[in-house]
Amino acid sequence: MENSRALHAELKQIVGNSGVLPEAESASYIIDGCPPKAVVLPTSVQEIQDILQFAAKQDLSVIPAGAGTKLGIGNLSKKVDIVLSTIHLNSVIEYEPADLTVTVEAGIRLAALQKELAKHRQFLALNPPYAERCTIGGIVATNTSSAFRLRHGTARNQVLGMRVVHADGTVVKSGGKVVKNVAGYDLNKLYIGAFGTLGIITEVALKLSPIPTRQAIVTTEFQDIQNAVNTGLNIVSSQTLPMFVNLFINFDPRHPETPGQGKFMLVAGFGGDPETVAWQSAQSRGIMEQNGGKGVTTIEDEPQQHIQETIQEFSANNGNTERVVVKVNLKRTDIAEFSEHIIGASWTHNVQMMALLGNGVLYLTIPVVSETDFQALSEVLTALRQSALEVQGNLIIERAPPELKRYIDVWGPVGKTLHLMKQVKTKFDADGLLNPGRFIASI
């Protein structure tokens, strides 16, 4: 089945002519420079089962995908045969506004779902990058989140249930459609963040939140990073209950197009009824001013929305400049010292950072230029990963060109859980059909 034309013909017998993407339109599904032999767009669970059975017989790998926004995450694939995209599985199956729950097919785009929910003044409290394109299945499979995780948590906290197709074609249902569903093992957590290595998510039940009546962002600048972090943590632990508290280094979310070198900008977001947001904003302004914040400003309406979108897309590839995106998970109290260590290094020119102070997450974006020495960069990132491990943290490379991935494992060491993870993978996908080589320890 090496011949691409023959493979496409075989797959069209399963999904029809419109279910196989023409090669000229498959650029979104190129993985680390490797174009797949075929991109299939099934419209039913039965078609997914048939594709998996066909691939197993032909010894072809299957890489699950939505719109392709997160295919840059992971190690180099052992082989890129069939990309199975769920974008034609994009319906709202059941929506109960009174219960604040919705069940959708995995290929529905987040933006389309939010538009439907907004008719009832509700939303899904996840704000990952690529908001206009990313799919619910992709968000759940990668456990992607962003600044809202301080108030609402990650995808693990929003998913009530799901339906998954295993590599052998078995359809598994986990969880339910109500918030208080606690019966049996919580299998949802097993699939969330597994990057499609255990099964293909086809349906997701989600918990919703009311859209805040009023939203506001309070910003300020600091001269030193330790004071900025301490002030942010004071706001996090205060009674203001912020939606997010982020620190930006060498980046100004109000003016993302202009250089922000040397800036330490603290941004706190609030949402709720008008009186509450007014009180929250005033309290956070007071905390910032008491700690020496300069130019404390409250921003609302369209400018607030613009800043929120900039925060959401911070780690996205903007299409103009290739970047390495690094995610460091730390204790909140280690963020200041760790960031200072990065700022003081010789390699960090033009590196921009965003810290989610309430969650201990630090994002770095490193521009890639023609003269970038990827071996040297891998050595720098390896040393930085070791620094994170020494303070009980970890470092993941979320996006990188394949030239860098040849020198470094993007996931890093797993520890004592690796043996258990391999056992689970073997149980769910004994032949290594799904996403081979790209997840932790090349599972």
Percent above pLDDT 70 for the chain:
97
Say what the pLDDT of residue 2 is.
54
Does the pLDDT at position 188 exceed 50?
yes
Q: Do the beta carbons of residue 182 and residue 418 sit within 8 Å? A: no
DSSP for 413-440, please give it.
---TTHHHHHHHHHHH-TT--BSTTTSG
pLDDT at 1: 47
Domain made up of 214-309: CATH architecture: 2-Layer Sandwich (3.30)
Give the residue-averaged pLDDT of 68-88.
94
> What is the second-level CATH architecture of the domain 92-210?
2-Layer Sandwich (3.30)
pLDDT per residue as tens digits for the range 345-375: 878 778 999 999 999 999 999 999 889 999 9
Q: Are 45 and 170 within 8 A, CB to CB?
A: no
Chain mean pLDDT for the chain? 93
Average pLDDT over residues 149-172: 94
- Spatial neighbors of 258 by CB under 8 A, at least 6 apart, are 252
The structure tokens listed for 290 are 């008491």
- The answer to whether 39 and 20 have CB atoms below 8 angstroms apart is yes
* CA end-to-end span of the chain: 24
Rounded to two decimals, the pTM is: 0.94
214-309 and 323-405 share one CATH topology? Answer: yes
The CATH architecture of the domain made up of 323-405 is: 2-Layer Sandwich (3.30)
Average pLDDT over residues 234-246: 97
Backbone angles phi, psi at 439, to 5 degrees: -90, -175
Structure tokens at 180: 């208080």
CATH fold of 4-87+430-442 reads: 3.30.43
Locate the domains of the chain by residue range. Answer: 4-87+430-442, 92-210, 214-309, 323-405
Average confidence (pLDDT) over 234-239: 97
Closest CA to 105 of 174, 155, 164: 164
